[in-house]
Chains A and B, each alone.
Chain A
Amino acid sequence: MTDQASPAPVRTQDRNGVSRDHPLRKLRAKAASVTWVLASLGMFVGIWELAWWRGWANPLLLPPPHIFLSNMPEQFRFFDPNGQRAGALSSGGSVWSVLGVVGWSSFRVLLGLSLGFVASVSVGVAIRYFDVFGKLVLPLVTMLAPISPVAWLPVAIFIFGIGNPPAIFLVFVAIFFIMVLATLSQIDEVPAHYIQLARVMGASKRQIYWGVILPAILPGLFVTLRMNLFAAWMVVLIAEAVGVGSGLGQVTMMARNTFNASLVFFTMTLIGLAGFAFDQALRLIQKRILWWIGPSNVGGL
């Protein structure tokens, strides 16, 4: 049996015998990936700029990037992390204030997502674990799931007033019900063999849930979470536009009210960048912590 005992070199080399983990190869792959991102962005910007140059796009309504990115300090004035209401030009004006505004929005998304993830997975697992609880709660979850988070907005403001909590609550609601249902479907799809083996080895129900079901469902749930990340960003902007008084949503709303098209697109750029950064960060966490999901199942870029 010794001939097979040596570790098999499974999928660690490419056809030319260069190790997959070779730093040069990694660097090249990274460079190629970044090049494509830039090309994709460049194409979009190019078409827009062309439309402006040919006179197809009115620069007052659809200012191309070279216009809305040209006068940064002018734009920065509108960013106030301390949350003055729309139209006020107060303490804003520096790069830091812009980062502060992005930071606040990101914070709300992050907190809402984290709370939503933990709560939904816990509730989902509890529904399967405790029979009576499941029968009592599942119909409710199924009925509440289709309600748009926007419909929760007045409720959020009734309960929490104005400020951070309603925005965080909206993000929470936006993912909670969907994630509970996703948790249930993930639990039901855990291979029967895993559970049978654990039972044969003497695992109790509790040990099976902690040691087998939870690790088996986490990767799939993390992918669901990432897919809902963008929904969370949409929702937080709505909440900020209406009931928070600070953040990117509030700036967008102010830009709309003052017909400042440049500011609208500048803010949209920031939202896009922040969302992209979030997705990359979650992807990294997924790779590091939940490594047992294959790279092919990560999806996206």
Chain B
Amino acid sequence: MTLGLSISNVSKVWNPDGPEPMPAVQNLTLDVALGEFVVLLGPSGCGKSSLLYIVAGLEDATGGSVTFDGLPITKPSPERSLIFQEASLFPWLSVRDNVGFGLTIKGMAPEKRTKRIDALLRQVGLGGVGDRRPHELSGGMRQRAALARALAMDPKVLLMDEPFAALDIQTRARMQDHLLDIWQSSGASVLLVTHSIEEALALADRIIVFTARPGQIKDEIKIDMPRPRDRYAPEMIELAKRCEALLDEEVTKAFKQQELS
């Protein structure tokens, strides 16, 4: 039995019986060890997000198998928490109740729940705004609340679909630091989708570069540098160049695909 996440030979075709089946992922094999931070890097529409949905259990793979701690993934589970690009907090709930949504579902006792929410809000630096409504928060704060909501479930894997793409660059850098802190203290694995090379280099233990659609693994880059990383260090610049070259080929291919279709 392998601990952690094991994706073996997975394929996904959208609309398989329709007139134009669209292959999103093809024969992809990838293992994510416990506590590992893996970044999926690739051009837009290359099937990275599809893979994330399959791992979350929200979509079935068309072929291959996905297991977590040796057990096949058949449906969504709180141990695999999901974070989207837009925070998608529920607008009808206060920040507290958003963070505590999953705890309520679990049926946690109110006093215990309140304590847990307070701790989570402090952890993500939102101690003072629990009673606010989501629309009263800035984009970065909303994304932290979403992070707290995911952490409330004590996830073993955090699945993040371009979580900081909608934020301005300064906020994004802060959020990345923040995510690293939380990741290190929680011991969860992270599978994060991005198309930003900079983000991938700042965060990842391992970068998986995707090909254009249908998504396959083009290359794999291990980064052993301690964090926080200096992105102007010579090794980092080398890595950035390498990623850029890899990605560039695929972006060109993706553009051609889009022109054809």
Chain A residues in the interface with B (C-beta under 8 A) = 1-2, 4-8, 10, 191, 193-194, 196-203, 207, 211-212, 215-216, 291-292, 294
- Give the CA-CA distance A10 to B142 in the complex, in Å: 13
CB contacts under 8 Å to A, within B108-131, are: 125-129
6 contacts between A and B (CB under 8 A): A5-B128, A200-B78, A201-B78, A201-B102, A202-B102, A211-B104
B77 touches A202 (CB 8 A): yes
A7 touches which one: B57, B58, B132, B171 (CB < 8 A)?
B132
Residue among A2, A193, A194 with max Cβ neighbours from chain B (10 Å): A193
Least CB separation from A203: chain B residue: B105
**Taking the nearest CB of chain A, how far is it from the CB of B150, in angstroms?**
9
Asked if B71 is an interface residue, CB under 8 A from chain A, the answer is no
**Known A-B contacts A201-B105, A201-B153; A8 and B137 likewise in contact (beta carbons under 8 Å):** yes
A215 touches B125 (CB 8 A): no
Mask of B93-114 contacts with A, CB within 8 angstroms, 1/0: 0000000011011100000000
- Give the CA-CA distance A192 to B58 in the complex, in Å: 11
**Taking the nearest CB of chain A, how far is it from the CB of B44, in angstroms?**
18
Residue among A1, A197, A207 with max Cβ neighbours from chain B (10 Å): A197
User: What's the interface size class on B, roughly?
Assistant: 35 or more
Q: Which residues of B are found within 8 Å of A7, using beta-carbon distances? A: 128-129, 132, 136
Least CB separation from A215: chain B residue: B92
Least CB separation from B152: chain A residue: A201
Q: Which residues of A are found within 8 Å of B104, using beta-carbon distances? A: 211
Q: Which residues of A are found within 8 Å of B80, using beta-carbon distances? A: 200
A200 touches B81 (CB 8 A): yes
A4 touches B91 (CB 8 A): no
Across chains A and B, the number of contacting residue pairs, with CB separation under 8 Å, is: 85
Asked if B86 is an interface residue, CB under 8 A from chain A, the answer is yes
Q: Which residues of B are found within 8 Å of A216, using beta-carbon distances? A: 90, 92
Q: Which residues of A are found within 8 Å of B141, using beta-carbon distances? A: 4, 8
Asked if B28 is an interface residue, CB under 8 A from chain A, the answer is no
B92 touches A5 (CB 8 A): no
Main secondary structure of the interface of A (DSSP, over half): helix
- Give the CA-CA distance A203 to B82 in the complex, in Å: 14
**Known A-B contacts A194-B90, A202-B77; A4 and B171 likewise in contact (beta carbons under 8 Å):** yes
Least CB separation from A291: chain B residue: B133
Q: Which residues of B are found within 8 Å of A294, using beta-carbon distances? A: 135
B140 touches which one: A4, A6, A202, A215 (CB < 8 A)?
A4
CB contacts under 8 Å to A, within B139-198, are: 140-141, 149, 153, 171, 174, 177-178
Asked if B261 is an interface residue, CB under 8 A from chain A, the answer is no
**Known A-B contacts A1-B125, A5-B126, A202-B77; A197 and B178 likewise in contact (beta carbons under 8 Å):** no
Q: Which residues of A are found within 8 Å of B135, using beta-carbon distances? A: 10, 292, 294
A6 touches B77 (CB 8 A): no
Asked if B56 is an interface residue, CB under 8 A from chain A, the answer is yes
Residue among A199, A200, A202, A292 with max Cβ neighbours from chain B (10 Å): A200
Q: Which residues of B are found within 8 Å of A4, using beta-carbon distances? A: 125, 138, 140-141, 171, 174
A197 touches B88 (CB 8 A): yes
A196 touches B82 (CB 8 A): yes
- Give the CA-CA distance A7 to B136 in the complex, in Å: 9
- Give the CA-CA distance A200 to B138 in the complex, in Å: 25
**Taking the nearest CB of chain B, how far is it from the CB of A292, in angstroms?**
4
Q: Which 8 A-B pairs have the closest CB atoms?
A: A201-B102, A5-B125, A193-B88, A292-B91, A215-B92, A1-B125, A292-B92, A200-B76
A10 touches B137 (CB 8 A): yes
A194 touches B88 (CB 8 A): yes
Q: Which residues of B are found within 8 Å of A203, using beta-carbon distances? A: 105
**Taking the nearest CB of chain B, how far is it from the CB of A1, in angstroms?**
4
- Give the CA-CA distance A211 to B177 in the complex, in Å: 33
- Give the CA-CA distance A246 to B101 in the complex, in Å: 51
Q: Which residues of A are found within 8 Å of B91, using beta-carbon distances? A: 292
